[in-house]
C-alpha cells in the first residue's frame, strides 16, 4: 500500500464550482498533515496545515479523520488562479521528514 | 526576504561529468533536504540533514552525495551522473525548534538533463 494516496485527477471544473480532493495515508503514527500547492514547473508551497478539528482559510477547508486515516481539501467558488497541482503531505511522528502524495491536478475553466 | 536559493536553475550535462547543485537558505533553519520530482512518481526525498555535519539518506540516495559544513548551505553532488538522474530537483529547509513541525520552504528547483 502506498504511503500517501490521492485522487488521480485531473479535475477540470468551471469557475465558481466547488471541488473536493481526498487523500489517504498508511502510517497511523503520522502526526502532521498539510496541503501544498504546486504551480506548473514551480516549487511546492504550503497551502494550509490540517488540524484534527478541521480548519478553514477563506474558500479553502481542510479536514482530517484520524480513525479513517483520511484528509480532505474543499475549494469553494473556484477561481482560474486555483489551477495548480495539490499535494497531500504527511509528516511522521518524531520526524521532520515528509511524505508527499503524487498530487492532483486541478484546472479551473472559464 | 526569507528564501531558499538553488543554482544552477537549469543544467544539461553528459554522463559521468561530476556536478554540484548548490542550495542556500537565509532563515537559520536546522533541517534541510533534497528531493527529486519525476512525472508519475511525485516528490521523493534524496538526502536530508538535521544540522551541521549531520546528514542521512532519504528514499532515493543512490548516485548522490551531500555535505553540510555550514548551516545555511546544503549542496547536492552527483559524482558520476547518469541519464536516469535527469529530473527536477528541489532543495527545502524548515525550522525544527519548538518540537512541532513547521512549514517546509522549497527552493525554485533545478532542472537537470543528463545526456
Contact B73, B24 (CB under 8 A): yes
Contact B23, B110 (CB under 8 A): no
* A45-63 average pLDDT score: 92
pLDDT computed for residue B1 by the predictor: 83
CA distance B82 to chain A (A): 22
DSSP letters spanning chain A: --SEEE----EEEETT--EEEEEEES-TT--EEEEEEE-TTS--EEEEE--TT-EEETTEEEEEETTTTEEEEEE-S--GGG-EEEEEEEE-TT---EEE---EEEEEE-
- Cβ contacts (< 8 Å) between B44 and chain A: which residues? 100
- Cβ contacts (< 8 Å) between A91 and chain B: which residues? 101
The mean pLDDT of chain B is 93
pLDDT computed for residue A98 by the predictor: 86
pLDDT computed for residue A52 by the predictor: 84
* A15-25 average pLDDT score: 96
Local confidence band at A2 (pLDDT 50, 70, 90 cut-offs): low
- Cβ contacts (< 8 Å) between B43 and chain A: which residues? 44, 87, 100
- Inform me whether the pLDDT recorded for A5 exceeds 80: yes
- Inform me whether the pLDDT recorded for B100 exceeds 70: no
- Of A95-99, B26-30, B89-93, B96-100, which gets the smallest average pLDDT? B96-100
- Chain A CB within 8 Å of residue B107 CB: yes
- Inform me whether the pLDDT recorded for A101 exceeds 80: yes
Is the four-CA dihedral B64, B69, B71, B73 of positive or negative sign? negative
- Chain A CB within 8 Å of residue B73 CB: no
Distance in angstroms (rounded) separating the CA atoms of residues B57 and B48:
6
Q: Do A100 and B103 touch (CB under 8 A)?
A: no
Residue-wise pLDDT tens digits, A67-86 = 999 999 999 999 999 999 99
Cell output for B34:
533534497
pLDDT computed for residue B58 by the predictor: 92
pLDDT computed for residue A93 by the predictor: 65
Cis peptide before B8 (omega within 30 of 0): yes
Total count of residues recorded for chain A: 110
A50-82 burial: b if 16+ Cβ within 10 Å, else e: beeeeeeeeebbbbbeeeebebbbebeebeeeb
Amino acid at each position: 500500500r502506498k504511503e500517501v494516496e490521492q485522487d488521480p485527477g485531473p479535475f477540470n471544473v468551471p469557475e465558481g464550482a466547488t471541488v473536493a480532493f481526498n487523500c489517504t495515508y498508511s502510517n497511523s503514527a503520522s502526526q502532521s498533515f498539510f496541503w501544498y500547492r504546486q504551480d506548473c514547473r514551480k516549487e511546492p508551497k504550503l497551502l494550509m496545515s490540517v488540524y484534527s478539528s478541521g480548519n478553514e482559510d477563506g474558500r479553502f477547508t481542510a479536514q482530517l479523520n484520524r480513525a479513517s486515516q483520511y484528509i480532505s481539501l474543499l475549494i469553494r467558488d473556484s477561481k482560474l488562479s486555483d489551477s495548480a497541482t495539490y499535494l497531500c503531505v504527511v509528516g511522521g511522528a518524531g520526524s521532520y521528514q515528509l511524505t508527499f502524495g503524487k498530487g492532483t491536478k486541478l484546472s479551473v475553466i472559464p | 526576504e526569507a528564501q531558499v536559493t538553488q543554482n544552477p536553475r537549469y543544467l544539461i550535462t553528459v554522463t559521468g561529468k561530476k556536478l554540484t547543485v548548490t542550495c542556500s537558505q537565509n532563515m537559520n533553519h536546522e533541517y534541510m533536504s533534497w528531493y527529486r520530482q519525476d512525472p508519475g512518481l511525485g516528490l521523493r526525498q534524496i538526502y536530508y540533514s538535521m544540522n551541521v555535519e549531520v546528514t542521512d539518506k532519504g528514499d532515493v540516495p543512490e548516485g548522490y552525495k551531500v555535505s553540510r559544513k555550514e548551516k545555511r548551505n546544503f549542496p547536492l553532488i552527483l559524482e558520476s551522473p547518469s541519464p536516469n538522474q535527469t529530473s527536477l530537483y528541489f532543495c527545502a529547509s524548515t525550522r525544527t525548534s519548538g518540537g512541532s513541525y513547521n512549514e517546509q520552504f522549497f527552493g525554485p528547483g533545478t532542472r537537470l538533463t543528463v545526456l
